[in-house]
Every structure is written in C-alpha cells, then in structure tokens.
C-alpha cells in the first residue's frame, strides 16, 4: 500500500472524520475510518513480522474462543445440566463464566470503548456508544449477580453481542475494500512511481518529481504515469480514463501518449513533455479526491439523523428497561433494554450514502467522466430537463459548406476556383471549401501569387485573372462589382445564421458560399436516448434563431431559445426550473462557464485546460456527448441504491426496534441481524461496481468523419481545429 495523504481511510478510501483511528502498520502511519477497516486492513496487509498486525487477529481469535466457551457453558446452564445434586456447582460455573467473560469483554469491547471516548471528546455520540452502554450494563449486572450468588448471569449475551458486532464490522470493511479497488488507481496517482531512466541507471521516483524532458520506462500492464512522446518501443494502450472509450490504440515511436492510459503489451520508453503533476490524469485524480471528501445532501441528512438517533436510542433503551421492571424481574428488563440499544444502532444508516456515492464517482471516473461534487450526482438523477448549448456541444464548432449561390458562373467552377485559392491556406474555412470540392470530385484550379489578408480573405491569380475569396469587407476593399441579386441573397443568408464567403474573379463578385456549423453525428441519438429516459430537452444559444432552428430540427429538439446573452440564458434556466424543478445544463465548458455554474447540474463536454477552474459539476471527456445518457443512468442507479439502502436501514431499524421494545427479541439475535443489516447495505452498494460500460450509440464518435449532408455539396470539416474567419 502506498502512503496516502490525510483525509482518507487507508483501507476503504472513504473520507475519515476529524478523529480517525491511527495505527502503525508495515512501518507506515495509517488512519482508519472505523474499527472494522482497521481489522480488515491488517488482515489483508499485515506482514508476518508485524506484531501489531497479528495482535488484532489474536484479539479476534482469543475473544472468539472465550465467547464461544461462555456460550457453551451457558448452554449447559440453560438446558438444566446443573440441577439436583449438581446444583452446588452453580456458583462455581458462574464464577468460571465471569473469569472467561472479563478478558473477552476487555479484548472485544476495548476498541468500541476507545471509539466512544474519542468521539465523546468531540462531543459526539456514535453508535459504538450504544454498544458500550448496553454491553457494559449487562456485564456489570452479571458481575454483581456472581458476587451475590444469584443465578442470573448474562455473560453470554454480553460477549456474543460484542463478537457479532466485531464480525459485522469486519465483513462490512471487507466489502468496502472491494469497492475501494475501483477508486484505488484514481487516488494513488500522485503517489504513484515512475521508472526514470537516467543514463544507464533506472530509478523509481514519485511522479511529482518527474520534470519535462526526463525519460520514463513503462512496462506492459503498467499505467503510463506522465504525458509525453514515445522514444522507443511499440505497444497498444487503453486510454479509457481520458477519452471514455475503451479500445486499443497503437503507439509507436513519435506518438504522443497520455498519463493515465494503460500500456497493454510492449515496453515503452517515453520522454516526458511536462511536469508529472500537470497532466490531465493528475487533475482528474485530484478532482476525484476533492469530490470524495465532500458530502452530498443525502449524506448530511443521514449523518444528522445518526447524530440525533444515538441519544434518543439511549433514552429509549433506558425507558424501556424502566418500563419492563414493573412487570418483569430486573435482569429480564435489563436484557430488553439491551436488545433495544443493539437493534437501534444506526450503523447502516450512516453507511447508506457514502459507499454508493464513491462507487458511482469511481465508476464514472474510470470512463473519463468526472464528478466534482457528489451532490451533483444525486441531483442528476432527479433532473427532468436538459438544456444544451449549441456551438461546440451539439455541433462540432467547425464550419462546412452548406450552399453555393452563383450569379454568373456554374457552381462547380466557383468551387474549383475557390478550392484552388484556399489550398494555400490552413484556415478552417479553407478546409471546409477543400472538402466540399473534393466531395464533388473537382480538381482545384491552379492559382499563383496567393496572398492572404488576415481577418479578410485570400487572393491570387489563376487563368490570368485575379481571384479572391473572403468576407464582404474584403470585397469592398478590392472595390469589385457586387450584383444586387447576390447582395440581397447574402443579407438573407447572414440573417439565417450562415457565415458567407464571397468568391469573385475578373473584378466581379460571382458567387456566395454559405457555411454553417454541423450537428455532431452522435447528437441525434444522444437526444433520443435522453428522451427515452423521460427527460425534456431544450436548446439555448446565443446564435440567431434561424441557425438554431436549423440545427434543432436536424437533431430533434423542439424547444429552442435563440439569440440569448449569458444573462438571458440564466434567466431562461430560472424559468425552466420553475416548471421542471431540477434542470441540467450541458455546455462546452469554455464559453458558458457562468451558465453551467448556475444550473442545478452543470455538465461540460470537453473542458477548460485547467480542471480546477472548471465551473461545471460534471465533466465529460472531449467528444464525450454520447456518454451523457449513460452518466444519467449511473446517477439514477446511485440514487436508487442510496434510497433502497436508507429504506432498508430505517425500515429494518423501526421494525426490529418495535419487537425489541416489546421484549420479543433476544439481544443476541438482535445483534446478529443488526450486523447482517450493515453487510446487506454494503452488498447492495457493491452492485454498483458491476454497472455496464457505456454503450456506444449508433453513429458514435468512432465512425465520425467527413460525410455528406444535405444536397451533397456540404461535408463536415473535422480534420483540424478551425478558427472562425469573419
């Protein structure tokens, strides 16, 4: 086990309170959230030389030995083996039971007492206080009974309750450790080691000490610890934690690799391209760590309930015992009180939310989806409307040619000439035109003397004529003739939300190319998948209404709010919230930060380079829009699990409490079902770890590529990042 920063249990990786249990194991200082985790950790990791590790097991074993013997002797008492002539043996048997029970209570009850004490110093009463009080009262009463030579001793009850609770806590902790395996790589990123190659020697160093330019060797099966470029070797890698897609990517010499991806089959030598702590992987891990330390609203409620419940239960136990003393002998009434204390122990309530939430966060993080606030995950399960930003979220954010308006030439000639010019440009618009020409099988016209005018357009000479393509201002600068029919058409197109490129030659503007943003190939299926989950979908954009309508119609959204400033978007969100209560907003995380922060759940697809400055509560990987329905599914599963856990814990506690208060439940049975209840909650939560991977929707990103839309002229331009020209 690697060393961990404070704040997490060494065993189950859940956040620990202000006063954790501390133990030295394997020479490292470990902190635990509960006694169960402490035992389980030592059982799993204890080295044979460690006396401390064995000590806990010895405690458990010797405690078990004593309590089982007490049970067997008590069995003899109950079945009446010491009646008649043997009756004079009875006090001695009682004394023997006391001799056995005293060390058992000290050994098994010690940790509970310590926990109660530590929390008591904070002024908090936890469930272990119930056990201490109940078992303590029973033990002390039985001890007096031995001294007074009375027949009623209940050492068996006292020790068996302790034994069952210890066992229950151990099983619970074992279950949580299983859950922790999901989160382990995410939390270990910063303490992970990299094999740094320096000259001929290889040293293991923590990732945070790796600087740019260092050489790092990664063996097959290892996680690549840093961003960099492959210098030597060839292998497949799995980049699921960054991109969300679990598939093998070939990496050879010169290929960039990302920290966090897993090297599958060959050794790689990688030159680091930045500090080890600056990678996206490290940011993801920090973000998960932050999210886990925060408490969701449900958890806060549960914690408060536990806080209130313990004193209440103590009072209830006392009152029950008092009530029964009127009709029963004191010892029987005491047992009823003990049963109430044991059965009302709210351990399962406190466990219901955090385990399910961390499992959900871990499940999402393994597919590259970040949850920065556990509350957002719970809110996401309750949303009824998803509002989308348009540009860069539902569309690629890159233009493509949607129409050609030619006045005095054929469309093919316009496209061929424009393509000939734009071949010399790296611009996004240039690529859109080149792709459109290629889609029609046109040969670009050879063009010479090409000069590009930044912010305006590009000009050159072909077939002895001056050729130019650019915006309206460029044409005015050139002073070329502009036919009024084209002028009107251009106004209409611009009003409709298209960007217009003017193409002319021979001192005349001959044609208009209208460019627009294309919806992402997966947008339509994503919207449909969300609708199937009963969610309303809306589109919000700062673009003109026509452009927004066109995109919305293409992907099947009816509710469109166009031409909105960020303030208007926020106001619109408020309106939606009045109707739909909980509203999610999906944006690209770059331009709409404030709006994302305003929504109940802000979801960013791709994100700002620095995750720490991200305002969205949930961040999907770049091109990860298709994962949104799956994320909603996971959130719903987490919420369902939490609710069933709480329903079970409360329902069970209430039912059993009634039985116990009526005196119909033996304390030992109560302890057995109580321990079982916590284990059940853990098992129920563990089902979350088996949630399926996101299903790739039809038209997923893997088959996204240049494709024809509309009349065949247009093609999506997706080859490289583009900058808008006008």
Partner 1 sequence: MAYCLVLFAAGFAGSFHCIGMCGGFACALGSDPQGHGATILRHLLYNCGRLTSYCFLGGLAGALGQVICTSQGATVTLLNGSLDTAQRLLAIVAGLLMIGMALQFYGLLQIFHRLAIGFGSSTFAMSLRSLLRSRSRAAALAFGVFNGFLPCPLVYAFAAEATSTGGALPGALTMASFGLGTFPAMLMMGGIGRVLSPTWRQRGVWLAGTCILLLGLVTLSRGVLPIAAHIAHGGLAGHPA
- The piece of 52-60, 366-374, 395-403, 653-661 that touches partner 1 (CB under 8 A) is 52-60
Q: Are 461 and 467 in contact (CB under 8 A)?
A: yes
Minimum CB distance to partner 1 smaller for 106 or for 312: 106
582 vs 211: CA distance, rounded Å:
45
| Residue found under tokens 């996101």 | 694
Query: Smallest distance from the beta carbon of 594 to partner 1, in angstroms?
Result: 52
125 vs 115: CA distance, rounded Å:
10
Residue 27 binds partner 1 (CB under 8 A): no
Residue 144 binds partner 1 (CB under 8 A): no
- The piece of 74-82, 340-348, 393-401, 405-413 that touches partner 1 (CB under 8 A) is 74-82
620 vs 244: CA distance, rounded Å:
8
Query: How big is the site for partner 1, counted in residues (CB under 8 A)?
Result: 26
Contacting partner 1 within 514-533 (CB under 8 A):
none
Task: Print burial letters for 238-261: b (CB count within 10 Å at least 16), e (below 16).
Answer: bbbbbbbbbeebebeeebebbbbb
Strand partners, 25: 28
Residue 346 binds partner 1 (CB under 8 A): no
Position among 5, 79, 250, 578 found at the interface with partner 1 (CB under 8 A): 79
Residue 640 binds partner 1 (CB under 8 A): no
Query: Smallest distance from the beta carbon of 54 to partner 1, in angstroms?
Result: 4
| Residue found under tokens 């536990």 | 306
Burial class (CB in 10 A: 0-12, 13-18, 19+), 315: exposed
22 vs 33: CA distance, rounded Å:
9
Minimum CB distance to partner 1 smaller for 1 or for 416: 1
Position among 24, 72, 492, 553 found at the interface with partner 1 (CB under 8 A): 72
Query: Smallest distance from the beta carbon of 112 to partner 1, in angstroms?
Result: 19
- Tell me which residue of 72, 210, 243 sits closest to 626, measured CA to CA: 243
Contacting partner 1 within 81-140 (CB under 8 A):
81
- Would you give the end-to-end CA distance of the chain in angstroms? 56
Residue 189, C-beta contacts closer than 8 angstroms, at least 6 positions apart: 207, 260, 281, 282, 284, 285
Cα four-point dihedral sign 346, 351, 353, 354: positive
Query: Smallest distance from the beta carbon of 78 to partner 1, in angstroms?
Result: 8
- The piece of 55-63, 508-516, 566-574, 577-585 that touches partner 1 (CB under 8 A) is 55-63
- The piece of 60-68, 113-121, 187-195, 622-630 that touches partner 1 (CB under 8 A) is 60-68
Residue 175 binds partner 1 (CB under 8 A): no
Alpha-helical runs (H) found in 622-719: 628-661, 667-686
Contacting partner 1 within 31-50 (CB under 8 A):
43-44, 46-50
Query: Smallest distance from the beta carbon of 73 to partner 1, in angstroms?
Result: 11
- Tell me which residue of 530, 551, 532, 529 sits closest to 540, measured CA to CA: 551
Query: Smallest distance from the beta carbon of 65 to partner 1, in angstroms?
Result: 5
- The piece of 62-70, 470-478, 483-491, 540-548 that touches partner 1 (CB under 8 A) is 62-70
Confirm whether 389 is a catalytic residue.
yes
**CA torsion 165→166→169→174, rounded to 10°?**
-140
329 vs 663: CA distance, rounded Å:
13
Position among 1, 54, 544, 704 found at the interface with partner 1 (CB under 8 A): 54
> Which of the following is catalytic: 238, 389, 543, 592?
389
Query: Smallest distance from the beta carbon of 23 to partner 1, in angstroms?
Result: 14
Residue 538 binds partner 1 (CB under 8 A): no
Contacting partner 1 within 418-477 (CB under 8 A):
none
- Could you list the residues that contact partner 1 (CB under 8 A)? 43-44, 46-51, 53-54, 57-62, 64-65, 68-69, 71-72, 75-76, 79, 81
What is the set of active-site residues?
Answer: 389
């Amino acid at each position: 086990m690697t060393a961990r920063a404070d704040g997490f249990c060494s065993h189950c990786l859940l956040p620990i309170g202000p006063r954790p249990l501390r133990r030295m194991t394997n020479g490292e200082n470990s902190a635990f959230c509960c006694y169960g985790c402490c035992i389980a950790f030592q059982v799993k990791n204890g080295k044979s030389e460690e006396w401390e590790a064995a000590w806990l097991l010895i405690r458990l074993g010797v405690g078990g030995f004593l309590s089982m013997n007490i049970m067997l002797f008590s069995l003899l008492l109950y079945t009446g083996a010491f009646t008649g002539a043997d009756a004079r043996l009875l006090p001695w048997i009682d004394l023997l039971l006391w001799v056995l029970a005293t060390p058992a209570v000290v050994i098994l009850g010690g940790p509970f007492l310590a926990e109660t004490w530590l929390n008591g110093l904070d002024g908090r009463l936890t469930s272990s206080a119930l056990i201490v009080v109940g078992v303590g009262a029973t033990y002390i009463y039985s001890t007096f009974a031995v001294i007074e030579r009375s027949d009623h001793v209940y050492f068996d009850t006292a020790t068996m309750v302790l034994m069952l609770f210890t066992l229950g806590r151990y099983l619970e902790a074992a279950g949580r450790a299983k859950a922790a395996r999901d989160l382990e790589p995410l939390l270990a990123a910063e303490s992970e080691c990299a094999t740094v190659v320096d000259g001929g020697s290889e040293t293991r160093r923590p990732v945070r000490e790796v600087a740019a330019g260092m050489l790092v060797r990664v063996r097959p099966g290892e996680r690549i610890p840093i961003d960099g470029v492959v210098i030597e070797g060839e292998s497949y890698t799995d980049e699921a934690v960054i991109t969300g897609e679990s598939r093998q990517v070939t990496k050879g010499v010169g290929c960039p690799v990302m920290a966090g991806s897993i090297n599958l089959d060959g050794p790689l030598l990688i030159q680091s391209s930045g500090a080890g702590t600056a990678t996206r992987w490290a940011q993801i891990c920090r973000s998960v760590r932050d999210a886990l330390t925060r408490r969701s609203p449900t958890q806060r409620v549960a914690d408060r309930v536990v806080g209130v419940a313990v004193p209440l239960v103590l009072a209830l136990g006392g009152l029950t015992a008092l009530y029964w003393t009127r009709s029963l002998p004191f010892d029987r009434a005491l047992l009823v009180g003990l049963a109430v204390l044991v059965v009302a122990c709210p351990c399962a309530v406190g466990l219901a939310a955090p385990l399910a939430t961390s499992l959900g966060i871990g499940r999402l993080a393994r597919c590259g989806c970040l949850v920065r606030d556990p509350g957002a995950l719970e809110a996401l399960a309750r949303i009824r409307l998803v509002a989308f930003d348009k540009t860069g979220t539902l569309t690629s954010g890159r233009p493509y040619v949607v129409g050609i308006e030619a006045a005095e030439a054929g469309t093919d000639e316009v496209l061929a000439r424009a393509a000939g010019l734009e071949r010399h440009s790296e611009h996004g618009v240039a690529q859109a035109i080149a792709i459109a020409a290629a889609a029609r099988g046109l040969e670009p016209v050879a063009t010479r003397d090409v000069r590009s005018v930044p912010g305006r357009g590009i000009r050159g000479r072909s077939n002895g004529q001056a050729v130019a393509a650019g915006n309206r201002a460029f044409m005015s600068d050139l002073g070329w003739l502009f036919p009024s029919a084209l002028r009107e058409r251009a106004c209409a197109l611009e009003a409709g939300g298209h960007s217009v490129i003017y193409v002319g030659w021979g001192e005349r503007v001959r044609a208009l190319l209208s460019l627009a943003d294309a919806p992402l190939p997966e947008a339509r299926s994503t919207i449909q998948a969300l609708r199937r989950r009963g969610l309303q979908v809306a589109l919000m954009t700062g673009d003109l209404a026509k452009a927004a309508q066109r995109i919305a119609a293409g992907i099947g959204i009816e509710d469109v709010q166009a031409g909105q400033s960020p303030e208007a978007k926020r106001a619109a969100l408020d309106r939606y919230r009045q109707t739909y209560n909980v509203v999610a907003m999906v944006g690209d995380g770059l331009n709409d930060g404030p709006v994302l922060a305003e929504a109940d759940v802000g979801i960013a697809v791709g994100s700002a380079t620095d995750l720490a400055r991200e305002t969205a509560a949930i961040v999907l990987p770049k091109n990860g829009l298709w994962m949104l329905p799956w994320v909603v599914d996971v959130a719903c599963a987490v919420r369902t699990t939490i609710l069933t856990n709480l329903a079970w814990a409360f329902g069970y506690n209430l039912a059993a409490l009634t039985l116990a208060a009526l005196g119909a439940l033996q304390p030992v049975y109560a302890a057995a079902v109580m321990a079982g209840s916590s284990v059940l909650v853990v098992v129920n939560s563990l089902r979350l770890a088996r949630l399926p991977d996101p299903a790739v929707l039809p038209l997923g990103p893997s088959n996204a590529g240049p494709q024809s839309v509309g009349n065949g002229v247009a093609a999506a331009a997706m080859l490289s990042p583009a900058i808008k020209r006008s």
